[in-house]
Amino acid sequence: RRAALSWDGAEFSRLADAAIETFAAARPRGAEPALGSDVVLIVGLPNAGLERVLAALAAHPDASVGDGVPELVHVIQEESTRRHATFPEWVHDADADDWRRLGRHYVERIARWSRSGAVQIDATPGQFPFLGAALAMLPGARVVDCRDDALETCWYAYRRLFPIGREAYSYDFVDLARHWRDYDRLMLFWHAQHAGRVHQHDAARLAADPATALRELLAFCGLSFDADGLKARAPAAPLAAAREYGARLEPLRRLLDPYARAAD
């Protein structure tokens, strides 16, 4: 399957490098501070904890969950085409009015699934490299970073049969480890750049104390907490899976070892 898929981990890493370098030098912001105040972007590599978060949000009466179409990426791609420049090369040339225009365009695009008065939950996969642009376009928006242990996350992706063209990095241990590192460093950067606008939601804490973890998540999203309703409609916290495989996953463990990064 890996041989049949087109995935260039080095190219994705270059995108991560460029995003960090660009947004470290410039912190753009749209001209409409409240734009996107009802939008929450859910990001994270596929993992069981992320699935539980989405189930809980979908069960909430005041949340409207997106249809999976990558509208944020489409808006950025359209702007890149208009400017004849790849992202994030054009970021330095965009002013507050440009970001407002892009933010309004995004809001128009999600109108087919958004609901008036509800919190709009956009959980489209693969958005995390573009969060600098998203938070400039939507100054009122918030981000939830759903993360699990590195080994658990990579094994969760590897053992699933993803459709062709989705999660193409997940069929090879080296690709998986590299993609995890890019995700991890990008999210650490966005956390530092946008303190207070990015909430880290940990799967381990969700499993250990689901009521507290969900209460904090919902509060960050601007949603009320209903323990009985969420318990009835959200699936149970998953158990760790990768640890059961012992030495069979040792090559992946070594690739994910943070001390091995210096050898890259």
Express each pLDDT in 189-244 by its tens digit.
Answer: 999 999 999 999 998 888 888 888 889 999 999 999 876 656 645 566 556 677 77
Express each pLDDT in 41-50 by its tens digit.
Answer: 999 998 888 8
Burial classification of residue 159, based on how many CB atoms lie within 10 Å of its CB (0-12 exposed, 13-18 middle, 19 or more buried): exposed
Q: How many helices (H) and strands (E) does the chain have?
A: 11, 5
**Which secondary structure element, helix H or strand E, spans residue 250, and what is its range?**
helix 250-256
Predicted pLDDT of residue 203: 84
Express each pLDDT in 71-110 by its tens digit.
Answer: 999 999 999 999 999 999 999 999 999 999 999 999 999 9
- The band of 135, judged by pLDDT with boundaries at 50, 70 and 90, is very high
Predicted pLDDT of residue 177: 94
Q: pTM for this structure? A: 0.90
Query: For residues 116, 117, 121 and 127, what is the CA-based torsion angle, rounded to 10 degrees?
Result: 70
Share of the chain above pLDDT 90, in %: 63
Count CB atoms within 10 A of the CB of residue 20: 20
Express each pLDDT in 144-165 by its tens digit.
Answer: 999 998 998 998 888 876 666 6
Q: Is the pLDDT of residue 119 over 50?
A: yes
Mean per-residue pLDDT over the chain, rounded: 89
Q: How far is CA 218 from CA 46, 63, 199, in A?
A: 20, 10, 11
Predicted pLDDT of residue 263: 42
